[in-house]
Amino acid sequence: MQTVELNNGVQMPIIGYGTYQIVGQQCLMCVKEAISAGYRLIDTAQAYGNEIDIGEAIRQCGVPREELFITTKVWFRSHETGECRASVFKSMERLGVDYLDLVLINWPFGNTYAAWRDLEALYAEKKIRAIGVSNYMPSQLIDLIHFNKVVPAVNQVETNFVCQQQPLKKVMAKYKVAHQAFSPFGQGRFNAMFAEPVVLALAEKYDVSTHQIALRFFVQSGISVLPKTFDPMRMRENLDIFSFTLEDGEMAQLSALDKGKFLIGSSQDGDFTELAMTW
């Protein structure tokens, strides 16, 4: 599996298996299947309610712990000093691991500074190999970097054809924060982007699916991706994107699909943030 080198030298697989809205026995089966298909990065979060199931899959999968890359995210209701730290230990207990590869602040809400300093301490104690953030927009990211010690290794943000995060990309490149794409398929709810003529034409040209064109486009841009699927065939399809290379002009055509429009939700949108406050 191709990797991305994080700003502290840690190697992170460029494709990971997303586990949002997969719980219980189905999560156990899906994560075991994903690992057997070749995924080594498993992306979860405290809010997904599936850390115990993923822990069971890690124990049963037959792949050594050190070959896996486990990411979880701290929920914003646990951001106060000490609470973030305790929540990370609870995550490790549920996952049955004694270290985590990557821990992210899930959303830039609540006492994010306290949470970040708890994560900095856990990183210094080598309980976490890399720490980062999620859903941070440019001003939030720059602010966090300037008033803390550790520069986030990763910013996991919604990224798909219509939401390519152009302004954020410049900031992340400047501070060497790796771009990780969540909802690369818009959660399967916005499929018009896969019916764009350029996407259909490239899928036909390279004899791959439209979804493989999307993943190839992001990976070829140096962005790591977290596709989610319940389907074992699609798990393999979503990994099978290294046998073709998009030409420069094709990359430019796909870049032009960007509308700078969030499909899932922006942490700087008032209505979305009001809704998030009820979570």
Ligand X SMILES: NC(=O)c1ccc[n+]([C@@H]2O[C@H](COP(=O)([O-])OP(=O)(O)OC[C@H]3O[C@@H](n4cnc5c(N)ncnc54)[C@H](OP(=O)(O)O)[C@@H]3O)[C@@H](O)[C@H]2O)c1
What residues act catalytically? 48
Q: Out of 1, 3, 20, 117, which residue is the one contacting ligand X (CB under 6 A)?
A: 20
- Whether the CB-CB separation of 32 and 57 falls below 8 Å is answered with yes
| Cα 218 off chain centre by | 13
182 counts as binding ligand X under rule CB under 6 A: yes
Kindly list the distances between the CA atom of residue 178 and the CA atoms of 119, 153, 166, 219, in Å, as whole numbers in the listed order. 18, 6, 14, 12
Smaller CB separation from ligand X, 46 or 135? 135
- Beta-carbon contacts of 31 under 8 Å, excluding residues fewer than 6 positions away, are 17, 19, 22, 42, 53, 54, 57, 58, 61
Provide the minimum distance between the beta carbon of 186 and ligand X in the complex, in angstroms, as a whole number. 5
C-alpha span between 144 and 113 (Å, rounded):
8
Residue 48 in tokens:
């997904």
Span of 82-90, 142-150, 195-203, 231-239 interacting with ligand X by CB under 6 A: 231-239
Smaller CB separation from ligand X, 50 or 253? 50
Element (H, E) at 238: helix 232-239
236 counts as binding ligand X under rule CB under 6 A: no
C-alpha span between 5 and 70 (Å, rounded):
16
Q: Torsion-angle region of residue 269: left (phi > 0), alpha (psi -120 to 50) or beta?
A: beta
C-alpha span between 221 and 203 (Å, rounded):
18
Q: Out of 188, 204, 205, 261, which residue is the one contacting ligand X (CB under 6 A)?
A: 188
Smaller CB separation from ligand X, 65 or 234? 234
Q: Torsion-angle region of residue 46: left (phi > 0), alpha (psi -120 to 50) or beta?
A: alpha
132 counts as binding ligand X under rule CB under 6 A: no
Residue position matching structure tokens 């207990």: 93
Span of 52-60, 146-154, 200-208, 234-242 interacting with ligand X by CB under 6 A: 234-242
In three-state secondary structure terms, 259 is: coil
Q: Out of 13, 18, 132, 152, which residue is the one contacting ligand X (CB under 6 A)?
A: 18
183 counts as binding ligand X under rule CB under 6 A: yes
Smaller CB separation from ligand X, 78 or 238? 238
117 counts as binding ligand X under rule CB under 6 A: no
234 counts as binding ligand X under rule CB under 6 A: yes
211 counts as binding ligand X under rule CB under 6 A: yes
Provide the minimum distance between the beta carbon of 248 and ligand X in the complex, in angstroms, as a whole number. 25
C-alpha span between 167 and 187 (Å, rounded):
23
50 counts as binding ligand X under rule CB under 6 A: no
110 counts as binding ligand X under rule CB under 6 A: no
Provide the minimum distance between the beta carbon of 135 and ligand X in the complex, in angstroms, as a whole number. 5
Number of residues this chain uses to bind ligand X (CB under 6 A): 26
Which positions touch ligand X (CB under 6 A)? 18-20, 43, 106, 134-135, 156, 182-188, 209, 211, 226-231, 234, 237-238
